[in-house]
Chains A and B, each alone.
Chain A
């Protein structure tokens, strides 16, 4: 299967005077239509990895290839366009815009794309229907429960028909029941729309590939158990 994301020798160092390296030589491929869970302890570099995959952050060295486009020398506006078209984001805190109602929030990425066609509105309605939110479409997002808000964020991430959805602890702020709900939706969306998922999580792993990260190093689960994947350093597992 073709890759939707490829990371090649990605390093990330923060700070100028006091340098702290967060990611070490990461080589990673995310296949189309796959579900990937990124697991690891707090501070291991999960979120940094996700932000680099989502082009929200740039690696200190290495290359990030999204849907065949190398982002290394891409201008800011082109990166923005790529993010808008190829990637959907879901965060721990839903990050909906309280100034807009549910329907407008779902449509926001398509409006950024200046796509005002009827089809996109129909798609928004279909997504809201699928997520059980159709009757709330005119509600203000603040009038919904946490689980409902996260479902609106899921609908929003899907509106531009992206190839990848990056989710950073999407259930971290939800109760057990709502968390189950969200994961079931992810599976359903993956099945119906063929979207690849990269989910940073520290509680539950979905069926699919598990990417383990520890101290900035990557380990993959293989038949032999956990093993270092991208550098000579031991992941210490």
Chain B
């Protein structure tokens, strides 16, 4: 097997420019293909993260206004649906917070703070003070606290929808990094929120986070049928953001099509060059066959050429990819200097792309190899 490899190597060296060009073609093709795949994944992640940052994947609510047996439902979901990562019952109510003579609209949100860890991770967002443990303790967002000019330990008055004023103590300040939320959410524990709206021990919603956000509609349907017959309704983020979801799906398909054609063009270039090489080297192949090289060994020469070209091209493509990613993160940036799309290096995707390319390119080497098998030494000798 070593002789065909040696011959393949010498054939490639003999046509240096041709070899360099095809290796460059492979390296560019493979690296660009992987790069746009990674950018597409990054774009999808960035968009989804932006939509889902402070949105539950699935929201369950009662058609009658509130759940009384929410603890039972929450436990059922936790035990029956392993894909659900966070179950967070909560109580929400519109309210106003008083600022001098002004009142600012807010949303009072009552949670079991520990339940929100996989959903909003409130604990991590607290930059001053601590979580509300006792009744009538609240967390204020950064911008709201700045506007009200209050600090941890201060008390504020909150006006309910029923025009009652409740005094609450600020025990902490949070920052989700989203001004709109920081200005609106006043976070408290479940009991305080329930008392605030006179809801007894009911909750208004159960919010869920699942392991694969793109399965939100499927899981939502499963939960819906499992809990059927009750006064429950479910909504999921995909239904609420249909335009964005189809935009993401659209860009994924377009990216796949582009990736497919880049790969196709790259593979055609390999097959092309190998087929040309069979013609260029037909004299040599004919002589080798006359000297006793079997058809199989002669065809191996072209498989080895495909192997060498692919391997060197792939190695170079990884170098190009690093360059593309660095360039992208450095030059394609927002006004603040952060990358427009957060591209992460997905090794599994890279390995899979390379594997597919490699397998297909080796498989297509069969065409030049077949051509080589058909080559008759007599023709070569006659046409010398």
Chain A positions near chain B (C-beta within 8 angstroms): 51, 54, 56-57, 76-77, 80-85, 89, 91-93, 95, 97-100, 108-109, 111-114, 156, 168
Contacts and interface: CB of A to CB of B under 8 A. Distances in A.
Interface in B355-384: 377-378, 381, 384
Secondary structure type dominating chain B contacts = helix
A99 B14 CA distance: 6
Contacts of A84: 291-293
Given A57-B378, A84-B291, 18 more contacts: A77-B296, A80-B289, A80-B293, A80-B295, A81-B294, A83-B291, A83-B292, A91-B381, A92-B384, A95-B384, A97-B288, A98-B14, A98-B284, A99-B284, A108-B291, A109-B291, A112-B288, A112-B291
Contacts of B295: 76-77, 80
A76 B290 CA distance: 12
A93 B286 CA distance: 13
Interface stretch (B5-13, B37-45, B79-87, B154-162): B5-13
A56 B378 contact: yes
A120 to B, nearest CB: 13
Interface of B: 3, 6-7, 10-11, 13-14, 283-284, 287-297, 377-378, 381, 384
A1 to B, nearest CB: 26
Nearest to A98: B14
A46 to B, nearest CB: 13
Given A76-B294, A114-B3, A108 B381 contact: no
A91 B291 CA distance: 12
A81 B3 contact: no
A97 B287 CA distance: 8
A222 to B, nearest CB: 32
Contacts of B291: 83-84, 89, 108-109, 112, 156
A85 B292 contact: yes
Contact of A56 (B3, B297, B381, B384): B381
Contacts of B6: 111
Contacts of A99: 7, 10-11, 13-14, 284
B164 to A, nearest CB: 94
B98 to A, nearest CB: 89
B292 A112 contact: yes
Nearest to B291: A109
A48 B296 CA distance: 25
Most buried by B among A57, A112, A156: A112
Contacts of B377: 56
Contacts of B294: 76-77, 80-81
Contacts of A109: 291-292
B1 to A, nearest CB: 9
Nearest to B293: A112
Nearest to A87: B292
A56 B296 CA distance: 16
Given A81-B292, A83-B290, A109-B291, A93 B384 contact: yes
Given A83-B290, A83-B292, A97 B284 contact: yes
16 contacts: A76-B295, A77-B296, A80-B294, A80-B295, A81-B292, A84-B292, A95-B287, A97-B10, A97-B288, A98-B284, A99-B13, A109-B291, A109-B292, A111-B3, A112-B3, A112-B291
Nearest to A84: B292
Contacts of A108: 288, 291
Contact of A95 (B3, B283, B292): B283
B384 A80 contact: no
Contacts of A85: 292
A89 B290 contact: yes
List of 4 A-B pairs having minimum Cβ-Cβ separation, nearest first: A84-B292, A99-B10, A95-B287, A83-B292
B44 to A, nearest CB: 49
A156 B288 CA distance: 12
Most buried by A among B283, B294, B297: B294
Nearest to A168: B381
A99 B284 CA distance: 9
Given A57-B378, A95-B287, A99-B13, A113 B384 contact: no
Contacts of A83: 290-292
B138 to A, nearest CB: 81
